[in-house]
């Protein structure tokens, strides 16, 4: 199954544009996501969300990382990585979206940024321990 994902360029550090990301309220809209692992956690792949709504995070105490387009050229503009929005998604859902061309591969983030994301995840109390363990990140 993992080989099928890789055939679409989906592996750790991949930045994807999910054209019909489904929110909790059942609304669908395009959303940028970052794949965090090359392995599965309970038959799921782990990702974190981004937002270009920078002003939403100005002065916010929520864990986040500001990413400049000039530092990470796979993004179309400056954005925020929303650490609390790190979730698993069923691998079949991602594969179905890839096959139907509802996911666009936008590139890869740097190893440095991935490490920074992992450090923030390790410290975030809102992310379940099974995700932290699956990613190999721990609060030291």
Tens-digit pLDDT profile for residues 31-61: 999 999 887 777 788 999 999 888 888 778 8
Amino acid 1: pLDDT: 67
- Cα separation of 74 and 92, whole Å? 25
Amino acid 6: pLDDT: 84
Cβ atoms of 62 and 82 closer than 8 Å:
yes
Q: Domain 2-135 class? A: mainly beta
Q: Can you name the residues that pair with 21 across neighbouring β-strands?
A: 29
Q: For the chain, give me the number of helices (H) and strands (E)?
A: 4, 6
- Cα separation of 17 and 26, whole Å? 18
Tens-place pLDDT, residues 59-75: 788 899 999 999 999 99
């Amino acid at each position: 199954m993992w080989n099928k994902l890789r055939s679409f360029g989906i592996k750790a550090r991949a930045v994807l544009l999910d054209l019909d990301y489904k929110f909790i309220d059942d609304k669908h809209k395009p959303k940028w996501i970052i794949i965090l692992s090359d392995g599965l956690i309970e038959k799921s792949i782990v990702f974190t969300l981004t937002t270009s709504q920078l002003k939403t995070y100005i002065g916010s105490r929520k864990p986040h990382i500001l990413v400049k387009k000039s530092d990470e050229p796979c993004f179309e503009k400056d954005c925020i990585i929303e650490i609390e929005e790190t979730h698993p998604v069923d691998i079949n859902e991602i594969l179905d979206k890839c096959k139907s061309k509802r996911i666009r591969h936008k590139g890869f983030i740097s190893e440095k940024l991935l490490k920074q994301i992992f450090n923030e995840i390790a410290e975030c109390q809102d992310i379940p321990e099974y995700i932290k363990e699956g990613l190999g990140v721990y609060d030291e």
